[in-house]
Structure 1
Amino acid sequence: KQTIKNIDLAQKMTEQAVYIYNNLRTHFSLDLRKPAEVHLNPNIKYKSYRKNNVNLPELTI
């Protein structure tokens, strides 16, 4: 386990992870498409794994 001691490095690592997740990584629930690709084309249908009766607690910041 390592600690990131520099906030700038932590922000860059987070931005990189989000970019990879949204632009490079394919998702099975999106029929192996990338989220950015689906976001730009609203006509693409995808499978939702969300249960309709789930009540999530509110997140307060």
Structure 2
Amino acid sequence: TEFAESNGIMMRMTEQYDPYENAIAERINRTLKYEYGLRNCIKNTDIAPQITKQAVSIYNNLRTHFSLDLRKPAEVHLNPNIKYKSYHRNNVNLTELLI
């Protein structure tokens, strides 16, 4: 947490460790691991941060995403007028549903 605070990173954590509570982050982690080879054992821990930083940069600046209509995340982030799909769940009160 000290590293995050000193670098202006706001931390958000789920209440319990459950991949379904943080599915979007888990999906991005999986993409980074399998598409960019981060799941492979990196023997030199000095280069691990550099490799991870490069993979995240590619993911955000070069890789197009279907959910963003084949745009890049950085492009969508910088233009608030671009519409995109959101996978956030709507809060539904299940006791009100009639089956």
* In structure 2, C-alpha distance between the alignment counterparts of 1:27 and 1:2, rounded to whole Å: 24
1:3 aligns with 2:41: yes
1:27 counterpart residue number = 65
Q: 1:14 — aligned with what?
A: 52
Relative contact order (alpha carbons < 8 A, sep ≥ 6): 1 or 2 greater?
A: 1
Report the TM-score when normalising by structure 1. Answer: 0.74
Q: Encode CA deviations 1:3-46: one digit per residue, 9 max, x unaligned.
A: 21222211111011101100000001101000000011011110
Instruction: Provide the secondary structure at the position in 2 that maps to 1:16.
Output: helix
Once the two structures are TM-superposed, the CA of residue 52 in structure 1 deviates from its matched residue by 2.5
Name the TM-score, length of structure 2 as normaliser: 0.48
Percent of aligned pairs with the same amino acid? 77
Q: How many residues align?
A: 53
1:23 and 1:34 in contact (8 A); partners too? yes
- Structure 2, unpaired ranges of 5+: 1-38, 92-99
Stretches (4+) displaced over 4 A: none
Q: Over the residues paired in the alignment, what is the CA RMSD in angstroms? A: 1.7
**Offset at residue 2 of structure 1 (A):** 4.6
Residue of 24, 39, 44 corresponding to 2:77: 39
Contact kept, 8 Å, 1:25 with 1:34, in 2: the verdict is yes
